[in-house]
């Protein structure tokens, strides 16, 4: 299958003279008998483009058959889900199909290839598809890159999008921000990432500007919080020192740390112990 994948969808979908020679493999099947590919990486259809394709199908019919695999009395799409959905919108009850026997892995690979070649996948869907290849079929980033005709860094960077929280991924899906902003967002501490993504969308920052802003985003609030925390600890140290009559030092932060008592002689130690025990 690897050699066929390297040739893209033409290896599966007959064109030109090959279509004439293999006409016997083309069947007409009721749309109700065709189910989506469970490995289909695309999660969102562009409704406007789908209606445009439906209008074209009404006018010209389906020029390129849908590629399917047979599963009992039903058929599962290998390539052409968008064409099937548009055919339903066009009112077609039957569509031409070509039946192929392939593995589940090959089915996923071809679904990804078809969508990426036609630029139908958004960045999050593409990242999820690569992740599925990686986790379900134990493919390395290098192997995925080779299969997709891309470099390894591109695959790795695309999959990094999945490190973002779901609300940020949704912003990318909705087009509020781009995948190009992800690198800048990932440079910000996790608790501030969604806020930064909203800031990028609100200010309509370019990717370059977002990368610059990421280096200082949230710094003012962190400095202010640290200063407030330091003031609290300093004030607490003073109160403890006055109460115990000895040098007291607080090491750590407001929510975690330790208190160090210092004494110069046995008398001061006994005084500290007496005050603690009495308390």
Q: Are 83 and 62 in contact (CB under 8 A)?
A: yes
Coil/strand/helix, residue 251: strand
Q: How many CB atoms lie within 10 A of CB 84?
A: 20
Q: CA separation (Å) from 272 to 248, 259, 264? A: 11, 13, 11
- Render 47-102 in DSSP notation, one character per residue: HHHHHHHHHHHHHH--SSPEEEEEETTEEEEEE-HHHHHHHHHTT-SEEEEEE---
Closest to 30 in 3D by CA, of 59, 55, 78, 66? 66
Q: Distance (Å, rounded) from C-alpha 26 to C-alpha 98?
A: 5
CA 200 to chain centre: 18
List, by residue number, the catalytic residues: 81
């Amino acid at each position: 299958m690897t050699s066929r994948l390297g040739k893209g969808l033409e290896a599966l979908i007959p064109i030109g003279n090959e279509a004439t020679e293999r006409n016997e493999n083309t069947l007409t099947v009721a749309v109700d008998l065709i189910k989506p590919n469970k490995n289909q990486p695309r999660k969102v259809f562009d409704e406007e483009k789908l209606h445009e394709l439906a209008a074209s199908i009404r006018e010209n019919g389906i020029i390129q058959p849908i590629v399917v695999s047979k599963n009992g009395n039903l058929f599962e799409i290998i390539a052409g889900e968008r064409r099937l959905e548009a055919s339903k919108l066009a009112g077609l009850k039957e569509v031409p199909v070509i039946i192929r026997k392939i593995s589940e892995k090959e089915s996923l690979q071809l679904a990804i290839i078809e969508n990426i070649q036609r630029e139908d996948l958004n960045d999050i869907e593409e990242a999820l598809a690569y992740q599925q290849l990686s986790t379900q079929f134990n493919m390395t980033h290098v192997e995925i890159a080779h299969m997709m005709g891309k470099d390894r860094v591109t695959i790795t960077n695309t999959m990094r999008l999945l490190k973002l929280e779901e609300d940020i991924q949704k912003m990318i899906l909705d087009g509020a921000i781009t995948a190009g902003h992800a690198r800048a967002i990932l440079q910000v501490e996790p608790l501030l990432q969604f806020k930064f993504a909203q800031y990028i969308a609100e200010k309509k920052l370019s990717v370059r500007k977002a990368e610059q802003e990421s280096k200082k985003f949230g710094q003012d609030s962190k400095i202010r919080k640290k200063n407030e925390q330091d003031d609290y600890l300093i004030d607490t140290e003073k109160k403890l020192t006055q109460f115990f009559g000895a040098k007291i030092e607080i090491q750590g932060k407001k929510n975690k740390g330790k208190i160090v008592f210092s004494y110069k002689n046995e008398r001061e130690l006994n005084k500290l112990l007496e005050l603690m025990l009495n308390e």
